Amino acid sequence: MTSEPPHDSQANNLQHAQSLNEILEAHSDAESVVDVDEPTQQLVLFRLNGQHFALPGSAVSEILPSDQPVYYVPGLPASTEGVLHLRGKIESVISFHSLLGLPIPEGNSQGMILLVAAAGIRSGVRIEQLDDVCDLPQSMLQPPPETLSSTLRPYVSALWQIDERQALALLDPEALFSAYQQGLG
């Protein structure tokens, strides 16, 4: 029975390790590795009547606090809460409840106001609660299913399945404001 001295075995292992490192370095593709960032979309996440919705961040220019005074103007449609004075400009404040088939909240409107621009107009949109402003990979957004209610379907551009039981509807501000201008809400 022949055995190599331990010193020779360690030398062989060291030589094998060096040659493996040399091989890896010789075949390294460090220069050819491309870091690809997935396209994202900024979303403003909020709630209306406890339901989760979002608007594209590109359509929302400002988030106003709930204590922003809104003044009632007689003769406006029911979907228009009133107007607000913002840095020398008068902006309307509207509600999407009727358009989205949601019950209109009773009593004083509470919640923040999103300043949204779409379909050639700019208006405040009253929301119940602001949840987050985030960047979401576009691959997480799925087309709305055929089973979506006929009331919501014209205004939802995508769905984000948050978990097994909860989905968020990405609203299309152009479609919402166009419908509002046509008096549908």
pLDDT digits (tens, 9 = 90+) for 88-97: 999 999 999 9
Residue 40, pLDDT > 80, answer yes
H-helix or E-strand spanning residue 177 = helix 173-181
pLDDT tens readout for residues 19-33: 666 766 666 655 555
- Please check whether residue 45 is in contact with residue 134, taking contact to mean a CB–CB distance below 8 angstroms: yes
Residue 159, pLDDT > 70, answer yes
Distance CA 81, CA 94 (A): 5
3-state SS assignment for residue 178: helix
Mean pLDDT check: name the lowest of 19-23, 30-34, 57-61, 157-161.
Answer: 30-34
Distance CA 43, CA 47 (A): 13
Confidence label for 18 from pLDDT (cuts 50, 70 and 90): low
Distance CA 158, CA 72 (A): 34
pLDDT: which is higher, 16 or 154? 154
Q: What is the pLDDT of residue 117?
A: 96
pLDDT tens readout for residues 165-185: 888 999 999 999 999 998 886
Q: What is the pTM of this model?
A: 0.76
Q: What is the pLDDT of residue 105?
A: 75
Distance CA 121, CA 45 (A): 21
Amino acid letter at 49? N
Confidence label for 51 from pLDDT (cuts 50, 70 and 90): very high
Distance CA 129, CA 109 (A): 12
